[in-house]
Structure 1
Amino acid sequence: MLQLLYAAYARRLTRALRDAALPRHVAMVMDGNRRWARQQGFGNPSVGHRYGAEHVEEVLSWCASLGIGHVTVFVASTDNLRKRGSEEVSYLMRVIEEVVAERLARPGGQWQVHVAGRLDTLPDSTREALKRAVSQTDGPFKLTVAVGYDGRDEIVDAVRSLLDTHALAGTPLLDVADQLSADAIAAHLYTSGLPDPDLIIRTSGEQRLSGFLLWQAAYSELYFCDVYWPGFRKIDFLRALRSYSSRHRRLGA
């Protein structure tokens, strides 16, 4: 009975969004994998990473069915990789290789993969798996996987890249300073060429960005959901979209 009620409610929410203004780019902080695993009684909380990674595919299907053409998922920050135990990080890297990269790279997929982050901080096998996913996917929907990612690092890397480009061209530093603009820096971000997120969803009840898309999120709408990522249901997603559609976006005004 509960499943029937759930399905009916999901259909009702979907109908309500039929004529609503939906985001064209949704970004998600997939938080709470370990806490979900403990809640479910798993002895090893790292198991939550696998359930969380497998859940990405289902969430992407929801986005595609609603015509949301750009999705960004925050898989692991540089802090995660630096501060977590080596055994947990190794497990997470295997999950990224086996679940995220391999599944997304299957022939005939709907998603074209882009990667954001400092890939040189990842193990060789993980880096190569992600590069294969990027080269082997060309679907109509765009997915950005943020791994080994930190928003401040991204801005530093963008400015460094901009300066390197001008240095190679022989541009005097004072001229670079005179020409510096937000658009010039944005052109060197990991996400260059992609639209900024309209909506950022964070699961687990935490209400902060944790360094996620600091530059790109300047005018994003934020939505915080209490459920842990592996338990994030379609009705939770539809509620986030309903909240977004009811807001009047001021874009800095």
Structure 2
Amino acid sequence: MDGNGRWAQRRHLPRVAGHRAGAEAVRRAMTAARDAGVEVLTIYAFSSENWRRSEEEVSALKGLLGYYVDKELKTLEKEGVRLRLIGEHEAFGPDLARRLETAMARTAGNDRLTLVVALNYGGRAEICAATRELARRAAAGEMAPEDIDEAAIGGLLQTRELPELDLLIRTSGEQRLSNFLLWQAAYSELVFTDTLWPDFDEQCFNDALHQYASRQRRFGGR
């Protein structure tokens, strides 16, 4: 969800205004996904690299996250949306972590759409954690090194209970993965759009779905 800062800059607004507008775009994307029958929508809300931003911006992002978790919880419950997290959300402090965990618990039974929010997440760190655990098991004699395969690694990723990633959308003209779902994106379809994230609406979402539907997925077979 890239382009919040540029969206604000073009309007001579502080960066936090762009993040607020970006949060509204999340709601639109969630509605569009649910209406289109998408089972899982994963949004990259805060990367492990985002801590390098200014203290003021990080503080504003944390405040917005807490505000929208509280504000949107009833909407998630009403619309049948289940909240899941990937990443290390505990880094945001005990109060915000508790509120996030409460939201997950209260929406756990919903089945209309799963909204996965990546917080303090990095794809490389996720893969490293999985391989460290496999190395530990092998060293402890719990498994043989030759038993380490793609299924073993995938079974230790934070997305292990989710379906395969089909489509990855990157906004604002950027054409890279930026450490997002690196393992999971191996055979996903990629859609890049020049639209800044705060301007990303239902039509943009549906356009991306149409692009996906028009492609032939070969998975390296031919």
Unaligned runs of 5+ in 2: none
Match of 1:85 in 2: 54
Q: Distance in 2 between matches of 1:250 and 1:56?
A: 31
Moved more, 117-126 or 215-224: 117-126
Runs of 4+ aligned residues of structure 1 deviating over 4 Å after TM superposition are: none
Q: What fraction of aligned residue pairs are identical, expressed as a percent?
A: 38
State the AA in 1 paired with 2:133. S
2 CA distance for matches of 1:194 and 1:202?
A: 20
Higher mean displacement: 59-68 or 120-129: 120-129
Matches within 5 A, 1:96-135: 96-99=65-68, 101-106=69-74, 107-135=77-105
Cα distance in 1, alignment partners of residues 197 and 99 from structure 2: 23
Structure-1 separation of matches of 2:126 and 2:151: 15
Partner of 1:250: helix, strand, or coil? coil
Measure how far apart 1:121 and its partner are.
2.5
Task: Give the secondary-structure state (helix, strand or coil) at the position aligned to 1:46.
Answer: helix
Partners of 1:178 and 1:110 in 2: CA distance: 43
- SS of structure 2 residue aligned to 1:247: coil
Is residue 126 of structure 2 the alignment partner of residue 154 of structure 1?
yes
Q: Which residue of 2 aligns with 1:139?
A: 110
Structure 1: distance between partners of 2:196 and 2:49: 20
Query: Aligned to 1:112, what secondary structure does the other structure show?
Result: strand
**Aligned pairs for 1:93-242 within 5 A:** 93-99=62-68, 101-106=69-74, 107-137=77-107, 138-140=109-111, 141-164=113-136, 166=137, 171-172=140-141, 175-242=143-210
Contact 2:172 2:197 in 1 (8 A): yes
Segments of structure 1 that go 5 or more residues without pairing to the other structure are 1-29
Number of residue equivalences: 217
Higher mean displacement: 101-110 or 227-236: 101-110
CA distance in 1, matches of 2:203, 2:177: 22
Whether contact under 8 Å (2:15, 2:57) holds in the other structure is no
The alignment partner of 2:120 has SS state of strand
Aligned equivalents of 1:151 and 1:98: distance in 2?
Answer: 26
Matched, 1:32 2:3: yes
TM-fit CA distance, 1:50: 1.5
Q: SS of 1:251's equivalent?
A: coil
CA distance in 2, matches of 1:194, 1:116: 11
Larger radius of gyration: 1
